[in-house]
Amino acid sequence: MKYLDEFSDPALARRLLDDIRRTVTRPWAIMEVCGGQTHSIIRHGLDQLLPAEVELVHGPGCPVCVTPLETIDKALEIASRKDVIFCSFGDMLRVPGSDRDLFQVKSAGGDVRVVYSPMDALTIARENPSQPVVFFGIGFETTAPPNAMTVYQAKKLGISNFSLLVSHVRVPPAIEAIMSSPRCRVQAFLAAGHVCTVMGTSEYPPLAARHRVPIVVTGFEPLDILEGIRRTVRQLEAGRHEVENAYPRAVREEGNPAALAMLRDVFEVVDRPWRGIGMIGGSGWRLAAQYRDYDAEYRFDVAGLRVSESTACRSGEVLQGLIKPHECEAFGQQCTPRNPLGATMVSSEGACAAYYLYRRLQVPAQVDQVPAQVDADAAQREQVTSVG
Amino acid sequence: MCLAVPGKVIEIFERDGTTMAHVDFGGVRKEACLEYVPDMRLGDYAIVHVGFALQRLDEATALETLRLFRELGELDMEFGDHWGRAAADAGLPRPAGTGTPQGGQARQAGTPMEGIRP
């Protein structure tokens, strides 16, 4: 959608872009937190429509990408066990663990099932009472209430063969960690719209004040993102650092009260490691004590796993906005959607996948190293290499 | 996965003391839990994430978003053939027991970013 006339409302897109151009007087680095927004930006070429002064820095809001390698390895170990039915969202299938992924576990005979909703996993548990059924509960604040409700239901209905492998993370501590890094160059944030649909906006004013950064709650569609950027640039140029809601059709200041109440009942805040980034204090949730029987980490003995991360993968720097995907030496070379070294290359929200799928970048041509293939991936690869 | 898709409530029912609905997402029908938006009525639209309504939405906005998602293939990413797509991405045969053997379609590359015409 690099052409204005491809927007659903070209006149509005032009007005937003004109306003940004008129307002901006110097360079600004704005981080979009959410990987869904990153994909929208790269797919539609929004960053290339903006004036050169406005740089978009891609953030860590890809749940698949930041799930710790150790948790992925635990999932793979549990999924490989005889009798276990392991349920997951589809985008976890090809996330690389230390030596394999869920797709390979399934191919080797493991009972891995893709579900649309965690409630589907609960139904599977009910229909297979003699087998342990585990759901891989990853995600940010948007996905935590569905998983919380599922565990609540499992307990209420006494579905004792169900458990959740929990790896939930929270956005505000990640913003705090990014702003506290000595290498940080982010000057403003587009906050993730649907996270705020659940949580509301009350966690953000202290962050905006402490770090003197504008935080603008932003949606996911191209016009939403332009509007979020427009409001952010206006604040930056005026020297303001406030929390604004540019996505009012889906976000209320108080969030979703019923979902928040369920989160408070089922989860408790814990420190969590983020893949490629490291430990962030208070950045995650685990099941509260009264739901411990439904925690897969307690139910399955998966201690003693030896994790092994790719040394070539720089996804941690990508996730912190320190480098762009194509600045990683492995990008498009050893690391492609076919052979991903890091989760950022496989997830539908990962920045590396977005750059690989939607943008021709200067990848040095090494066509002779690419095996002849006639499928779509090879065609994509050829497109990428043909430009450099 | 973090996608939340607008859907129209076409049937409301109760299961195990929980308010559920059949929701239509531009032709794809799924069950969704309404417990987090308890005042939803038949014909209302909500944004739905992994089978849970999270926020009511007005009809015009919902239809516009659905149109965009359909054009962009996002509905297929959300509701489509995950095993087939993973197999095509991996360049491997789809595992046994994952549906039709025809295989899926790898994610498509977008248009190159050149000749920008603002």
Q: Please give the angle made by the CA atoms of A216, A43 and A94, to the nearest 5 degrees.
A: 100
Distance from CA of B79 to the nearest CA of A (A): 7
Which is more confidently placed, A276 or B20? B20
Which range (B2-11, B15-24, B69-78) has the least confidence? Answer: B69-78
> What class has domain A4-63+172-245?
alpha beta
Question: Going by C-beta distance under 8 Å and a sequence separation of 6 or more, which residues neighbour residue A70?
Answer: A273, A305, A307
Nearest Cα to Cα of residue A166 among A348, A290, A294: A294
A63, A145, A360: residue with CB nearest B2: A63
Considering only CA atoms, give the Rg of chain B.
Answer: 17
The full set of domain ranges for chain A reads 4-63+172-245, 65-168+255-299, 325-385
* DSSP annotation string for A184-202: ----EEEEEHHHHHHH-ST
**Taking a C-beta distance cutoff of 8 angstroms, is the pair A232, A216 a contact?**
yes
Q: Is the pLDDT of residue B46 over 90?
A: yes
Alpha carbons A149 and A363: distance in angstroms, whole number: 45
User: With contacts defined as CB-CB under 8 Å, which chain B residues touch A380?
Assistant: 106, 109
Q: For residue A142, count other CB atoms closer than 10 A to its CB.
A: 30
User: What integer pLDDT is reported at residue B77 of this predicted model?
Assistant: 81
Question: Is A139 close to B1, i.e. CB distance below 8 A?
Answer: yes
pTM of the model: 0.89
pLDDT surpassing 70 at residue B114:
no
Across the interface, whether the CB atoms of A149 and B89 are under 8 A apart is answered no
In angstroms, rounded to a whole number, what is the distance separating the alpha carbons of residues A284 and A3? 40
List per-residue pLDDT tens for chain A, 388 residues long.
556 777 778 899 999 999 999 999 999 999 999 999 999 999 889 999 999 999 999 999 999 999 999 999 999 999 999 999 999 999 999 999 999 999 999 999 999 999 999 999 999 999 999 999 999 999 999 999 999 999 999 999 999 999 999 999 999 999 999 999 999 999 999 999 999 999 999 999 999 999 999 999 999 999 999 999 999 999 999 999 999 999 999 999 999 999 999 999 999 999 999 998 899 999 999 999 999 999 999 999 888 888 888 899 999 999 999 999 999 999 999 999 999 999 999 988 899 999 998 875 544 444 333 333 334 443 343 333 332 2
Q: Distance of alpha carbon B29 from its chain centroid, rounded?
A: 9
Q: What is the DSSP string of A307-319?
A: ----SS--HHHHH
Asked if A358 lies within 8 A of B90 by C-beta distance, the reply is no
Beta strands in A224-371 (DSSP E): 243-245, 267-274, 278-287
A-contacting residues in B 76-115 (Cβ below 8 Å): 77-79, 82-83, 85-93, 95-98, 105-115
Q: Which structure tokens are listed for A262?
A: 């369920």
The answer to whether residues B36 and A152 touch, using CB atoms and an 8 Å cutoff, is no
The partner residue sitting opposite A377, judged by closest CB among B38, B82, B89, is: B89
Query: Can you give the pLDDT at residue A385?
Result: 31
Q: Average pLDDT, stretch B41-63?
A: 95
CATH code for the part of the protein at A65-168+255-299: 3.40.50.11740
Domains (range + CATH), chain B: 5-77 (2.30.30.140)
Residue B103 has pLDDT above 50, yes or no: no
Sheet with A85-88, side-by-side order of all strands = A111-114, A85-88, A133-139, A162-169, A278-287, A267-274
| Mean pLDDT, residues B59-65 | 91
Please report the number of interchain residue pairs, chain A to chain B, with beta-carbon separation below 8 angstroms.
187
Out of A116, A249, A353, whose CB is closest to B30?
A116
Is B52 part of the contact surface with chain A (CB cutoff 8 Å)? yes
Q: B54, A256: Cβ pair inside 8 Å? A: yes
